Amino acid sequence: DYDHEDWIIIYRINYYFDSTWEKRTYLKTRWADYVVWHRQEELPLYVQFLNTFRDKAQNGLTAQELDWAFDGFDARRRALFSQVLPDTVYFLASLNEAQITFYEKKVVKNAPNNKAEKSASEIQKRLEKRADKIIKNMEDWFGPLSDAQEHRVKILSFTLPDIKEDWANYRA
């Protein structure tokens, strides 16, 4: 729910960094500013983008239209990250040694959950699960996909690199 994302964000930050009350208060204040900005500036752009996307998708999407859609998504993501980056840098620079150690313990504690599977069948299952998740996310955004669209998305998702092992090594 859009009206409760502040609690979720603060909870997740605290989960990893064991934030002080002062930092949580700072984050809540800044997040409230982001929500106002997002509602006033970004949501109208989302509506415009999604309406245009719906119109383009009426008869299926061409490769160029898919590129346009991904570019539009990337533009909104860049706008969001550009907005929050200064406060993110400030927050990370203000962490003390205990909070950094707390974070490292959280990441290392969760590292076994990120170990890469080696067998072909496990990799295939993981890639199928990823494809299903992509389809579910697309349907959440755009509505039901036809069987042909789902098939095309699965084919495209299997062309994406499998980075599970790289991610596990990075996290280790």
Q: What percent of the chain is modeled with pLDDT above 90?
A: 35
Tell me: pLDDT of 100 over 80. Answer: yes
Pick from 2-6, 38-42, 72-76, 143-147: least confident: 2-6
Question: What is this structure's pTM?
Answer: 0.58
Question: Among all chains, which residue has been given the structure tokens 């707390």?
Answer: 102
pLDDT at 126: 85
Q: Which residues contact 2 (CB under 8 A, 6 or more apart)?
A: none
Q: pLDDT-derived band of residue 172, with 50, 70 and 90 as boundaries?
A: low
Could you tell me if 171 and 107 are in contact, meaning their C-beta atoms sit under 8 angstroms apart?
Answer: yes
Tell me: pLDDT of 170 over 70. Answer: no
**Taking every pair of C-alpha atoms in the chain, what is the biggest distance, in angstroms?**
56
pLDDT at 48: 96
Q: pLDDT-derived band of residue 171, with 50, 70 and 90 as boundaries?
A: low
From CA 88, how far away is CA 150, in angstroms rounded?
37
Pick from 1-5, 65-69, 84-88, 143-147: least confident: 1-5
Mean pLDDT score across all residues of the chain: 85
More confident residue, 124 or 74: 74
DSSP per-residue letters across the chain: -GGGHHHHHHHHHHHHH---HHHHHHHHHHHHHHHHHIIIIIHHHHHHHHHHHHHHHTT---HHHHHHHHHHHHHHHHHHHHHHHHHHHHHHHT--HHHHHHHHHHHHHHGGGGPPP-SHHHHHHHHHHHHHHHHHHHHHHH-PPPHHHHHHHHHHHHHS---HHHHHHHH-
Tell me: pLDDT of 37 over 70. Answer: yes
Mean local confidence (pLDDT), 129-134: 92
Q: For 67-99, how does the pLDDT look when each residue is reduced to its tens digit (9 = 90+)?
A: 999 999 999 999 999 999 999 899 889 899 999
